[in-house]
Amino acid sequence: MMTKDEFKQAFLDELDTHFSVAIDEATDYELFEALSAVVRHGYSENWRRTRTEDNRQQTKQVYYFSIEFLPGTLLRSNLLNLGWLDQAREALHDLKLDLDQVALAEPDLALGNGGLGRLASCFMDSLASEGYAANGNGIYYKYGLFKQKFVDGYQVEMPNDWTKSDSPWLVRRKGKAALVHFGGHYTMIEQDGWLTPEYEGDQVVLAVPYDIAVVGYHNHVTNTMRLWNAEIPSEDEIDYRTIQDRRTIEDLTSVLYPNDSTYDGRLLRLKQEYFFVSAGIQSILRYFVKNNGTNAWDQLPDEVAIHINDTHPAMCVAELMRLLVDDYRVDWERAWQITQQVMSYTNHTIMAEALEKWDVNMFRQLLPRLMDIITEIDRRYAESLQGRVDGQIIDRTRIISGNQVHMAHLAIIGSHSINGVAELHTQLLETTVLNDFYNLYPDRFNNKTNGITLRRWLQLANPQLSHLLDEQLGSQWRNDSAQLLKLTKAADDPKVLNQLAKIKLANKQKLAQLIKQQTGLEVDPQAIFDVQVKRLHAYKRQTLKLLHVLALYRDLKNGIDHPKRVVIFGAKAAPSYVYAKQVIKVINEVAKLINHDPAINDRLKVVFLENYGVTLAEQIIPAADLSEQISTTTKEASGTSNMKLMANGALTIATMDGANVEIAEAVGDDNIFIFGLNKDQVNQAYADHSYDPQQVYNQSPVVKSVVDMLIDGTIPACQAEGKALYDSFVQANEPFFVLADLESYLQAQARVETAWQDQEAWAKRSLINIAHVERFDADHTVQLYAQDIWHLTPLAQA
Ligand code: 26V
């Protein structure tokens, strides 16, 4: 434990030691660094002890391989988990400082794009908090996810050179470096009766780990997230001749998701994937051998689980095989059994475009030995099924088909567990994209619905609501979200409902200030705060929200009134995704039009906040009344902003897609607004091409009148983009059913408006949403992974 006064002293000491400054001379970043130094002292012993405890108890550990992590900021989250948050807040207050203000100096660690990377970070937090020995394994990108700016309504990407600010959370561990080999040729030579590859002309890259402590909640467990940086090996390790050589090495871990529209871009991505996979697996085996020697490989599955987060690390399967067979001389069959027991795989999308396939020639050039290993895995796979199943099924499920390496197939064939991320998503995997595999290996498939860490998304993001929950339930819910269900007892207590509404209003006032600061716009905190925050993608249908905004605008202009509403967007578009960028431009122009139209008189405001990311999400989500989860049914694997918004008392308007289905089940039909085509209707339309958007457009006056606003000159300064959106909606076989769902969506929004009229009933629905969040708590989710997939038991409490 740490008292307030101890904290204050420790903080002042750090400020003095590091910077020799008094408080009033220190910059915000110096204050942040001094605080982080105190925090590091708080976990360093636990960090060391957790490693040695794992070792002593021979506890099984999971290694979560993910090409993306999105931790956001760590100062407050580490303070919370150490149990020091209140003391720190009070100590700073005594010194006339505001912790939240100082915390703003910390930049987001943004080494990911969206849901997949944030899920990985939520899981890291939950695994440590549930006491599991877990390790993250990823890439130390020099440039994180770009910073987004709007210039003239267009998205502009600025580099995110985060390493410049010297994050206090990373520890470089040169002593744990590994060498990773690319390219060249090899020949198999016999050594003591074992065929071993001899390499020639390969490029050698030094992988140096940067470790970040992952502090568990009030439990003395501190795990590690390891990010690998590509560096030039020193001259005694390898002789590097040309500047070009050196540059290609440094480029390897330079950027997150390099542009994949060129050959070189794709090659770089493949290199990145192998780089962190090889370094990670080497370090796992090195540690295992240190503890067990080189003769205990059958124990590997008792001590190690390796998780493949989406297909990007699918090469884990082949790399483990390579190291076992080539370096440790384990028989192929035995190595294969071990590999399958160790590996598990999560699929995060059914969208064909996102299922990775690599050109065989590219693969062979970059990774000649690994390609041959994969070829052998593939050959044996086909052989094992020969004569047992239809040849077409074998052809469809092989890893190598034509000139492509199918990474999902590699992950599936090499793993004992394959899971989807929501019930509907798993069911769709089983019945559609992975149906052949499901028929072959039904027992390997299972569902693990995503979750979010309530520590970050409720305790830290919404302290006032957390306080109300303490008053109502005691503080136990902070450790055990099942307690939240008891909140339903207060569902008819007007006092509690009133407090809940007051807290929401206070959060909205705070967000209104931020909006004012960032955009200059005044918004009314009494209005409905209607929020859609997520990556910009056609299937997520920010366009549908846009059409609703246009419908409201048209009504207001025609004297048809609606409750006051502030529509808030946050979204980044992939830099090369032209359509997504057009959507941003149109939304920004529509916002400008509406926000400055005196006839609207503030009844409707549209706010598109720049640079959506973890920190901005923490500010927006607690202030939301309405959560927009309006993807085309079957397309959103799960979604996780839906869970964060629900936990903060927003009501959801949603299609029956991803985890929305389970949210609806949890809160009941009265407490959610469902609309749109269901999965059978969508799949039917795909199958028989029966969707005719032109027909919808021609037959529905409502649809036509709204969609026409995109091309009739209503919106100035974005004619081309407006036309592009219009064309996308009416094109034959439009895959996202925007017009098909529009009327149903507008009707659901009308139900929202009716519900909003009765504020107490709204607050009651909000309370019921909060009460049912346990199902979506990542603590719960990782327990299921630990039990069903990884077979871990928690570390004994230290
Ligand atoms: C999807 C697509 C769609 C087509 C074009 C390119 C492209 C690239 C990436 C992706 C998504 C890749 C995987 C992913 O991030 N999936 C997200 O994972 C979240 C965590 O499980 C889940 O909540 C989201 O629904 C899912 O989209």
CB of residue 349 inside a 6 A radius of ligand 1: yes
Provide the pLDDT for residue 240.
62
Query: Which residue in the list 73, 640, 655, 781 is annotated as catalytic?
Result: 640
Check whether residue 363 and residue 510 sit in a common domain. no
Provide the pLDDT for residue 723.
98
Assigned domain for 478 exists:
no
Q: What SS3 class is residue 754?
A: helix
Question: Is 640 annotated as catalytic?
Answer: yes
Question: Is 516 annotated as catalytic?
Answer: no
Check whether residue 367 and residue 225 sit in a common domain. yes
Assigned domain for 471 exists:
no
Q: Mean pLDDT lowest for which of 16-20, 54-58, 216-220, 453-457?
A: 54-58
Provide the pLDDT for residue 241.
64
> Which residue carries 């040309």 as its tokens?
242
121 CA distance to ligand 1 middle (Å): 16
CB 134 within 8 A of CB 51: no
Pick from 729, 732, 745: which is nearest to 582 by CA?
729
Provide the pLDDT for residue 354.
80
Ligand 1: which of 119, 269, 348 to mutate, most ligand atoms within 8 Å of CB? 348
- Phi, psi for 138 (deg, rounded to 5): -150, -155
574 CA distance to ligand 1 middle (Å): 12
Is residue 99 exposed (0-12), middle (13-18) or buried (19+ Cβ within 10 Å)? buried
Provide the pLDDT for residue 237.
60
pLDDT in tens, 331-379: 999 999 999 999 999 999 998 888 899 999 999 999 999 999 999 999 9
Check whether residue 37 and residue 153 sit in a common domain. no
Provide the pLDDT for residue 265.
86
CB of residue 422 inside a 6 A radius of ligand 1: no
CB-based contacts of 327: which residues, under 8 Å, 6+ apart? none
Pick from 215, 225, 224, 223: which is nearest to 84 by CA?
215
CB 628 within 8 A of CB 655: no
CB 71 within 8 A of CB 614: yes
Check whether residue 147 and residue 6 sit in a common domain. no
Check whether residue 416 and residue 514 sit in a common domain. no
Provide the pLDDT for residue 54.
74
Check whether residue 95 and residue 123 sit in a common domain. no
Check whether residue 306 and residue 374 sit in a common domain. yes
CB of residue 450 inside a 6 A radius of ligand 1: yes
Element spanning 392, H or E: helix 391-397
Ligand 1: which of 64, 311, 349 to mutate, most ligand atoms within 8 Å of CB? 349
Assigned domain for 525 exists:
yes
CB-based contacts of 690: which residues, under 8 Å, 6+ apart? 684
Provide the pLDDT for residue 236.
62
How many whole angstroms separate alpha carbon 76 and alpha carbon 451? 21
Element spanning 225, H or E: strand 222-231
CB-facing half-sphere around the CA of 577: CA atoms within 13 A:
16
How many whole angstroms separate alpha carbon 698 and alpha carbon 96? 64
- For CA atoms 616, 622, 628, 632, the dihedral sign is positive
Check whether residue 445 and residue 516 sit in a common domain. no
CB of residue 112 inside a 6 A radius of ligand 1: no
CB of residue 353 inside a 6 A radius of ligand 1: yes
CB 186 within 8 A of CB 199: yes
CB 366 within 8 A of CB 264: no
Is residue 402 exposed (0-12), middle (13-18) or buried (19+ Cβ within 10 Å)? exposed
CB of residue 638 inside a 6 A radius of ligand 1: yes
Assigned domain for 466 exists:
no
**346 CA closest ligand 1 atom index:** 21
Provide the pLDDT for residue 798.
44
Provide the pLDDT for residue 257.
83
Domain residues for the domain of 102 are 1-57+85-107
21 CA distance to ligand 1 middle (Å): 47
Check whether residue 203 and residue 250 sit in a common domain. yes
Split into its structural domains, the chain has a count of 3
- H-only helix segments in 483-563: 494-519, 542-557
Question: Is 495 annotated as catalytic?
Answer: no
Query: Which residue in the list 8, 147, 425, 534 is annotated as catalytic?
Result: 534
Check whether residue 98 and residue 122 sit in a common domain. no
Question: Is 18 annotated as catalytic?
Answer: no
Question: Is 605 annotated as catalytic?
Answer: no
Assigned domain for 476 exists:
no
CB of residue 235 inside a 6 A radius of ligand 1: no
Question: Is 49 annotated as catalytic?
Answer: no
Check whether residue 380 and residue 494 sit in a common domain. no
CB 97 within 8 A of CB 44: no
ipTM given for this complex: 0.95
Beta bridge partners of 44: none
